[in-house]
């Protein structure tokens, strides 16, 4: 019995040390006093920009989405719009066409392309096969992006080192669950600070822009989702920075909650993308980017399982030696109770469960490369 407890203690110490890695990394980033770069006034633009709106059965959001996008791009003749419809079975295409035909932009600046095979990555690849542009922007149909994002993108892309730009999801709404507030606020802080240092591997597909010259003739992996992560990693592989600019802000039309299935889908896509790009933790020339990728793998892929093993090991050890006191077994159980007694602690455990479920689904072959609007 003592031998078993001894091995469990060693295992517990290893778990604790590994669990501290993302915590210490986050604390270090939080303490850094960094400032975002000032925007440069844009004159005549020599680049062509194409805004891609992937859609599937989005009759609920298509009108609101087009209104916000047209408001942003109408005064820029070099910006074109492409709706990539993923074989919608509702009135998405009709609503979009009726609106655009009566909009303030010329018919030469927009088009609607239908794709028979459902899938966001299939639709994006299909557009990239047909259209050439200096800069591409993709934005989800349910994303309400605040005005001003176009000038921010154009200004930041004047930096020759930047290949991909995304923004942050706004934390607002009193109806938001504690988990979403906890995740968004902490995740946004980490992404913004990593971007100021060099790059972040965790981007947001609600609005994502990239230079064609930075990504070359890339195509998305259609057997997985996480188009934002895939694009960001390609940029970093090619020696460019992938960043988040906190001045690009977006939320959801109606401020609805991200559902559990959406969280699982996103977690699975990000985890698979991180594992496929593990070699960047030692191949990247940029030290800041290497560290950011390494921490993301620990945090999103390994950390949830470490938490699970910590809880299981603590429970088994305490069952074998059920004595309250200063033993590591009882202190471990006490630490779990304390974590569960706080809202942030419960949010952390909830996030870990989401990740573990997403990983298990991936292992048994349940993937999320196709999507149906939920919110």
Divide the 375 residues of the chain into consecutive groups of 10 and give the mean pLDDT of each group: 72 92 92 85 78 93 95 93 92 94 92 88 91 94 93 94 94 57 80 95 94 91 87 96 95 72 89 96 94 96 96 92 82 93 89 95 82 54
What is the per-residue pLDDT for 363? 93
> Residue 115 carries which DSSP code?
-
Q: Which residues of 177-213 are buried (b: 16+ CB within 10 A; e: fewer)?
A: eebbbbbbebbbebbbbbbbbbbbbbbbbbbbbbbbe
What is the per-residue pLDDT for 1? 54
What is the per-residue pLDDT for 367? 78
Enumerate domains of the chain plus CATH numbers: 49-257 (3.90.550.10)
Nearest to 197 by CA among 108, 296, 290: 290
> Residue 33 carries which DSSP code?
-
pTM of the model: 0.90
Q: Are 244 and 203 in contact (CB under 8 A)?
A: yes
What is the per-residue pLDDT for 187? 86
Q: Is the dihedral of CA 60, 65, 68, 70 positive or negative?
A: negative
pLDDT in tens, 143-172: 999 999 999 999 999 999 999 999 998 866
What is the per-residue pLDDT for 172? 61
Task: Characterize the bridge pairing of strands 79-85 and 49-55.
Answer: parallel
Q: Are 15 and 310 in contact (CB under 8 A)?
A: yes
Residues shown for the chain: 375
Q: Maximum CA pair distance of the chain? A: 79
Nearest to 70 by CA among 40, 47, 35, 100: 100
- Which stretch of DSSP H or E encloses residue 84? strand 79-85
Helix (H, G, I), strand (E, B) or coil at 353: helix
Sheet holding 49-55, edge to edge: 110-114, 79-85, 49-55, 135-139, 207-211, 162-169, 241-252, 143-145
d(C-alpha 340, C-alpha 349), whole Å: 8
């Amino acid at each position: 019995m003592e031998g078993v407890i001894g091995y469990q203690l060693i295992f517990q110490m290893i778990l604790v040390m590994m669990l501290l890695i993302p915590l210490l990394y986050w604390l270090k980033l939080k303490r850094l006093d960094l400032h975002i770069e000032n925007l440069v006034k844009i004159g005549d633009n020599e680049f062509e920009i194409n805004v891609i709106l992937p859609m599937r059965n989005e009759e609920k959001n298509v009108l609101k989405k087009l209104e916000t996008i047209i408001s942003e791009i109408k005064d820029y003749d070099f910006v074109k719009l492409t709706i990539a419809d993923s074989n919608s079975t509702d009135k998405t295409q009709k609503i979009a066409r009726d609106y655009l035909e009566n909009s303030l932009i010329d018919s030469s600046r927009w088009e609607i392309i239908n794709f028979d095979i459902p899938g966001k990555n299939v639709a994006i690849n299909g557009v990239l096969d047909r259209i050439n542009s200096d800069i591409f922007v993709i934005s989800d149909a349910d994303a309400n992006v605040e005005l001003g994002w176009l000038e921010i993108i154009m200004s930041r892309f004047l930096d020759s080192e930047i290949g991909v730009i995304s923004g942050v999801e706004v934390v607002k709404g009193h109806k938001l669950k504690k988990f979403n507030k906890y995740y968004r606020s902490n995740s946004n802080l980490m992404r913004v600070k990593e971007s100021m240092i060099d790059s972040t591997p965790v981007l947001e597909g609600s609005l994502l822009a990239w230079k064609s010259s930075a990504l070359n003739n890339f195509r998305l992996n259609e057997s997985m989702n996480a188009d934002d992560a895939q694009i960001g990693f390609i940029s970093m592989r090619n020696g460019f920075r992938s960043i988040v600019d906190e001045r690009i802000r977006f939320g959801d039309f109606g401020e609805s909650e991200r559902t559990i299935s959406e969280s699982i889908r996103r977690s699975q896509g990000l985890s698979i993308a991180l594992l496929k790009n593990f070699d960047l933790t030692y191949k990247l020339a940029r030290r800041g980017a290497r560290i950011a990728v390494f921490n993301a793998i620990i945090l999103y892929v390994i950390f949830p399982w470490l938490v699970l093993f910590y809880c299981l090991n603590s429970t088994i050890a305490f069952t074998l030696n059920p004595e309250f006191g200063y033993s590591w077994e009882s202190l471990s159980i006490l630490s779990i109770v304390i974590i569960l007694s706080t809202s942030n602690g419960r949010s952390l455990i909830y996030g870990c469960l989401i990740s573990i479920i997403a990983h298990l689904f991936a292992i048994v072959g349940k993937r999320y490369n196709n999507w149906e609007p939920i919110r």
